[in-house]
Structure 1
């Protein structure tokens, strides 16, 4: 299995968990309105951190890839597939948060919730 196939399985599953969490919250619009900016900022920070530290770890020889299973597209030494994992976490974790929140809750503390 290539890393791209693994990403093609993992990311849609993470999106399904988020969709289920949004549906369960009953307040999808309010949640998205509240969470979109923190999610974008987090995505940018995760991308920068992934590029920085993965490049350092690969350069230091801490791990290597089976390059035959990669697309060949890189950011420095980092295969582009590596960026799918933090993106998946960014999608998956809010979905889990919403699924674990009390029914009808958004998992956030907005004015509308008080």
Structure 2
């Protein structure tokens, strides 16, 4: 089970960084947008990974997988689009300077 262990730090980082934006404005809107983006990316991953595996463009050593699959695609493949959908907007939010408040 090598691949699930490789994915774990990315998922943990995504959760920590995303939750660190909880106090930033428009958190709910960002989560809704990230969720919609995740659905699209997972759908695309589902279609194209299954096609590429079916035509034998690549394969995975079974001993390194968790054994869970969606079609032919190992479940581990879906962590990366999920992380991208949530981590990138969270990083952008954290790296965008907050507006200065008036000090009158």
Q: TM-score, normalised by structure 2?
A: 0.83
Q: What is the CA RMSD across the aligned residues, in angstroms?
A: 2.0
SS in 1 for 2:26: helix
Residues 36 and 92 (structure 1), Cα distance of their counterparts in 2 relative to 1, 3 Å cut:
closer
Deviations, residues 3-33 of structure 1 (Å, cap 9, x unaligned)? 111122210112222233x16xx52xx4222
Report the equivalent of 1:43: 38
In the comparison of the two structures, how many residue pairs are matched?
100
Report the equivalent of 2:98: 103
Deviations, residues 67-95 of structure 1 (Å, cap 9, x unaligned)? 10101111110001111010111121012
Residues 92 and 5 (structure 1), Cα distance of their counterparts in 2 relative to 1, 3 Å cut:
same
5+ long unaligned stretches in structure 2: none
Q: How does 1:1-114 map to 2 (within 5 A)?
A: 2-20=2-20, 22=21, 26-27=23-24, 30-104=25-99
Contact kept, 8 Å, 2:35 with 2:85, in 1: the verdict is no
5+ long unaligned stretches in structure 1: 106-114
Q: TM-score, normalised by structure 1?
A: 0.76
Q: Distance in 2 between matches of 1:37 and 1:18?
A: 13
Q: Give the helix-richer structure, 1 or 2.
A: 1
